[in-house]
Structure 1
Amino acid sequence: MCLYDFFQSVVERCCLSGDVFTAYLHQNYPEFYTSIDDLAASTEYISSADYLTNEWSNREVLREYASSVATRGIIHYNSSRATTSSISNTNMGWKPLHKPQYYTVRKKALDNSTAAKGIFKDLHYSKRDLETDILPYLAMTNSTLRYPGQITFLQELTRFPKFSSTRSEVLSEKDIMDSLETDSNLEPPSTISSIPNATDLTNSQQTIQPPIEEEVIIEDYDDDG
């Protein structure tokens, strides 16, 4: 009952920032529910917490409130919440926690977005239209593309395996959490050279030579002239 009544104090003393704490809750909370109705109600609170930190200008101020909203929803909307008596009467052990996939997925999405804009630079569409309409259409219609890099990128971006083997990484006690404290590494890269075949679009491209600096001769001024 102590944790249930004073959970806000636990959140405030946690070494994680509010948005990182919410990301951990979002990654792990479904495994602690047995009722789909409780899970749906808690998900609404998670969504509300995400909305509070959606804007960069307000994130620093509202992320602590967001973690409070998410925590309240998870605690109060779980009818099968574990208690001391329920644990003692069952063989329930420690459930392993997993690292949030939010940061990895977001970084990959930013990288793909930047690569798409660079590879298909001849298509003058907004980023949203290019990623949600144009590229899926090109992949479905097998349209003729100009560069090999475009074909490879479409195959990697628009085709999804029927069975995914991705598993969440289990959190260990020795993990260092400092790398998750900021989103500084989530900025989109300035170039797309890390994407395979992104820069080698065609063999006919010429290597740009640096301009040759001309020698400037400064003549003395002749007063007699």
Structure 2
Amino acid sequence: MALRNSFIDVSSYNPDTKEFFLAAKNQGALGVVVKLTEGSEDGSSYVNPRAAAQIRNALAVGLRVSCYHFARYTSIADAQNEARFFVKIAKQFGMYDDTLMIDDAEVHSAADYQSASLAFLQEVEALGYKNTGIYSMKSFFTGGVLNSHGFGSRQIWVAGYGVTSLGIDNATAWQTTDHGIMGIDTSLDFDGAFTTGSTSGNIPQAVIPAPQPVQHVGHP
């Protein structure tokens, strides 16, 4: 764990202005993970209405941009369906195929949550985004809901507040607080996947469509 680079994550709760991301960068953020979707296209079909502007303005100030999907799946087939929705929106937003794509798996909604979560990531990869990872809270990994060693070399991003150690030896990122940089979720990146390298594609503004009206259901 040579690095301890800071990054933030944002959803529709958070601002989407260039000024916001510049201020975050000035406070030490090197990357941002933007919520794109939640659920499935034939289910809640939720797309973060601020995602396009958040991506565009984070890139504009030089932050490394990754994307996340809030999981609701109840089975392997459902997980694969949600993965297809996530990828569809990422492609609509012009995200390059090297973009880090994260499964936000914090609702224990499937009997075999490990297999469903792995199926989600495998489907994302099969559709062209090979750089993937999973996010969940420490208790899911230490309590047996998820096995961090069951995801191969993928990114393991763990939420653990108020602790000095995660107790998860292959964690690659640690969400340490929800009141950090700019008063929001702040994490440490241990191997650089969230904060270093080319800024995921310097997407031209014209490539990113304006947010379309969507059904606002579930987690914002």
Which structure has more relative contact order (CA 8 Å, sep 6+)? It is 2
Q: Tell me which protein shows more helix as a share of its residues.
A: 1
TM-score grouping bracket, smaller chain normalisation: under 0.3
Normalising by structure 1, report the TM-score. Answer: 0.23
